[in-house]
Every structure is written in structure tokens, then in C-alpha cells.
Chains A and B, each alone.
Chain A
Amino acid sequence: MPRFLITRVASGLGVLLLVCLFTYLVFFALSPDPAVQICGKNCTPEVIDQIRGNLGLDQPFWTQFFHFVVGIFAGRTYGEGVGAVECAAPCLGYSFQSSQAVWDMIIQRLPVSATIAVGAAVLWLLAGLAGGLLSAVKEGTFLDRFTTGLTLTSMSIPNYVLALVLQYVLVVKLQWLPFPQAVAFADDPGQWFANFVMPWIVLAVGYAAAYTRLTRANVLDVLRENYVRTAYAKGLAQPLVWRRHALRPALTPIVTIFGMDFAGLLGGALITETVFGINGVGKMAADSIARNDQPVIMGVTLLAGFLVVVGNIVVDVVYTAIDPRVRVNA
């Protein structure tokens, strides 16, 4: 493994540890006593003490935090003796609400969220690149101005509003899409696809608009570069100048931004999944926040941080492959 990758992974782990610490700190300081929460009605002080003991809530902050971090890598055991619960690595604790392991909850819901994220990403990349290129080629024409207007409009529509309008228009009024039902792709591909079309669109629209603006600006910038003038002076035809000398430099920075955006999609999924009632990681996060389910919030926060860190490293690696100037001498 090249050295730069090792340092990037190490610093990534450092970032995750900090994310962990701060989230832990916030909930340690702010949340009401989890033991009371778990205990529910008909609670006695003895039971509460027992729960505190089992969860280690009677320990000082740093001890609790240490156990939490160790649990992620090595697993941990809650309680002692007969009632002890073994939590295998990677252990993120148990939901205060459902007593399920947080790791299992995330793993269960991840495929749905990933489907939404990947579908939306494909959609916005296609729309953004096509729109941006078209706009740049037709700079100053009606088409360019129309595209600009459209992107500005769609960037200013909040996606929960768009979600509700789409649902109302496409499902209720026009009935172009069937009512969402939980199906597996293999059982009913049509229904499966219909379920995801609206979340994809809603999640993609804002990004597609931003990518259209970005692509247009990048292409127009690069066309003013001296090396494009050189290419024309060599006698190359315009299509070749565009394809070889303008597109690659114009699109390379978009890789970085795409990596960041894709890694940070969990935030967008939170709203989209909640509005469409899709049981993914985003909705789980929203629910756990509403119910102050600390272990789940911690788990989702760490997952989001993990994705951003991994996304960054992937972007760095991809960049060394596509931009000769950043090839690392290691």
C-alpha cells in the first residue's frame, strides 16, 4: 500500500474518533437519563440502578467512551454473570427503544438507502453533465438561458416540497405511478421501480441543477485556456479539441465534488426517506432523533462520518489516476 494511502487512512481514523467523541459528549451532556427511558412505566429506583450498572452508565465519562470505542473494534459485554449480554464486534450498542443491536439495524436498512443513493447519483450525473455540456455548447442562446433558469428554479425548491407535489401529481392526480408497496425487485420489478422513481428524482434534482451549473462553468473556463488555443493553432478540428482538450480538464474537478456529495448523501436521504416513508437508514436516523434513542443516533452519525472519510480517500485515489499533476511520488 502506498505511503500516502496509509497516512490518509490513519488521519481518517483520527477524524472518526473525533466525530465519535463529540457526538458522545453531546448526548452524554444533553440526553435525559437513558436508564429511565429504558425502564419505562412501573419503574423502581432499584431497577434503574441495575440498568445503569449493566450499561455502565454509572462509570465516569471517559470510561464509558473508552468502552464504546473498544466495543466497535473488539466487541463488549454488558452486565455480569447470568444476565450478561455479549455484543460482538462491531458493537454499536443496543437501541433503547427496540433493544435491537444498532449494527444489525443499520445493516438491514442500508440496501434500501444505497438503492436510493445510487439511483439518484446516476440520475443527477447524467442530467447535470448533459445539461451543463449542452448549455456550454449553446452559450448565450435561448437554450442556455432556459437551462440556467431551470437550474436556478430547481435549486430553490426544498426537496420535501418537491416530494409532496410529485406524490400528489404523479400518484394521486395523474395516477402515472402506482401507490408505493414494499416489494422485492425479483418479485415485481415494475412496482419496485415505481417505488424508487420519486425518491430518486427528489434527491437528484438539487444536485443535477448544481452539476449543470458547474459543468457549464468548467467547460467555458477551460475553453478559454491557452492550451485550447494551442490545439486550434495546431490545426485540430473543433470536435477533437473539445473532446480531448476541453472535456477532460473540465470534468476532472467534478469527480472530487461527486465523491463528496455521494458520501454525504445520508443527510439528504433523511428527508427523502421520511417523506416517502421508506424504511432506510435516513428514516431510522430521523426516528431515533425524535425518540432520543442515543445508541442509534451515535451509530448513524458514525456511519455518516465513515462514508465521508471513505469518500475522501476514494476521491484522492481516483484523482491520482486521472490527473497526472497529482501523481504522488511515494
Chain B
Amino acid sequence: MTLLQVRDLTVTFPTPRGPLDAVRSLDLDLEPGGALGIVGESGSGKSMTSLAIMGLQPRAAQRTGSVRLRDQELVGLSEAELRRVRGDRIAMVFQDPLSSLNPYYTVGLQIEEAYRAHRPGTTRRVARRVAIEALERVHIRDAARRVDHYPHQFSGGMRQRVMIAMALSTEPELLIADEPTTALDVTVQAQILDLLQEIRRETGTGLVLITHDLAVVSEVTDHIVVMKDGVCVERGPVEQIFTDPRHAYTQALLDAVPRIDDEIGALRAVTAGGAGDAAANDKKDGGPA
């Protein structure tokens, strides 16, 4: 059975100039244990997609369409029912691990809290053991001691490991990682991507990876959805997208990746298919109607 099936997902914001679709008629499919990459520039609606899957879109926004997690329809669920899904069956890892962790509490408490929210009656001792094991699983050394440290006492990459440990503590079926490596430097990026790969192999967790970085998706995912202005412009297996991009925008994205064998010159702007400045102007005029 398909792990995640999204059909006709639309997220609409009311604006003074009428409704604006941040995401429009999006379809996504992910098999259990699979990895799907969602690629697009800033404002393409990829982050809003991830929030909308969990029902975490801003209160002003309206979400329509269908989001099925195995056999459960998530659109139309009550807050309380959605809470049971969030963090337990679908977990999320966000872009900036420092601001995504609460500076006032130890990482241990924040992991325990995620676990206990879905396992009522768990004692603190058990939850603490879960937290330490989760930290060990993401290769944080000396986890039994680190569990009592605060987020600011970790480096950027370690913080992202903590976020991943927190997400995995409940053994979710689906992990959504929204730009998990963007705030990290290149060597640490590679480590975090390796970690995501390893976790996927070992636990069979499905992965939705959202990024603007084509190099990142090519490394981790097997299918790609390219988004622009809230719409899917192209989808397919990684190899196909890279070798034979159909849409001009995808081609432009690929061209914008600096390559080692490139001639030295100005970085190329993503302009094909009305992207770049034209897209920004579109937004101001009320976006694609």
C-alpha cells in the first residue's frame, strides 16, 4: 500500500487582492521506505507543502484536496486526531536546528516530550532511556551525558542530529525533512545526508526531502518533484530528471548548479520558463490565478 498519497493538494491564502494559492493541485506518491525529493526555489511552495501534509499550515490558510497516510485520510481530521499523527506517524526535521530547538530546555527533555506525547503513561526514566538511545542512533558520542545539555552547547551539525533523533524517537512511518542541510556547512551537510540514508536503510522510514539543492536530492532520493510557483512542473526518477529534463525550468535549475568543469564566469540566473525576477513580479500582481 502506498505510504503517502497526496492528491490535488491546494493551500490558499486570502489576500487583499483575492485568494492566492501557495500550493495548487499537487499530487505526490511515496512507497513505504521510499525517498521523494521536492525541489524548487524559495517561494515555490515546497515548505508549505510539507506543513500542509501535517495540517500545520498557517491558520489563515485553507487546505483542500486529499492527503492519505496509508489508509487514513488526513484532510478533514480534527485537531486532536491530527495531533496523534504529528510526531508519531509523521515526524519533521526543519531547516535551522538552532531556532527549531527551544533554548530553555535540555535536548533530553525535548526528545522525551516528543516520545511521551504519543506514549501516555511512560515514566520519565523510560523516556530518558529512549532519548539517550535516540541520540546514540544519530551517532552523538557520550549520549548519556549529552542528553542533559542545552541546544546552544551543540554545534550546528550536532543540533541537526538532535532534531533527527527527536523525530525518530517515536519510530515514525514518514520523515519529512525541510531543507535539513541548508543551514550547515558543506562537510557537515554530507554527514547529515549520510545519516538520513543510513536511517532509511535501517528503519524503513519513508522520506520526503525538501530542498533547493539538486545535488542533495540526487544523493538521497529516488524520485523528484520539481515545484515552481506552487505547481508541480516536472516529476520522475532522479536519473531521468538529471539526464533528460523536460521542463525549461528544470533545465534552468540544472544549469544553475556550478560545476567543476565550468568555464569561469558569472553565475547563471534561473530565468527560463518565467522564473527569477518575472516570478517575483507575478507574486506581487496576485500570483498565478
Contacts and interface: CB of A to CB of B under 8 A. Distances in A.
Most chain A CB within a 10 A radius of its CB, from B96, B106, B113, B166: B113
A232 B57 CA distance: 11
Contacts of A245: 102
Nearest to B102: A227
B87 A235 contact: yes
Chain A binding surface SS class: helix
Given A229-B56, A229-B94, A234 B100 contact: no
Nearest to B169: A234
Contact of B54 (A233, A238, A252, A325): A233
Contacts of B87: 233-236
Interface string B56-88: 100000000000000000000001100111111
Nearest to B176: A233
A225 interface: yes
Contacts of A237: 80, 83
Interface residues on B, range: 20 to 34
A237 B82 CA distance: 10
Nearest to B98: A226
Contact of B100 (A227, A236, A252): A227
B117 A227 contact: no
A139 to B, nearest CB: 11
A230 interface: yes
A225 B94 CA distance: 12
A291 to B, nearest CB: 52
B153 to A, nearest CB: 9
A237 B81 CA distance: 11
A236 B117 contact: yes
B22 interface: no
B96 A233 contact: no
Given A232-B56, A324-B103, 4 more contacts: A229-B56, A229-B100, A233-B91, A248-B104
Interface of A: 225-227, 229-238, 244-245, 248-249, 252, 323-325
Interface of B: 54, 56, 79-80, 83-88, 91-92, 94, 96, 99-106, 113-114, 117-118, 150, 152, 163, 166
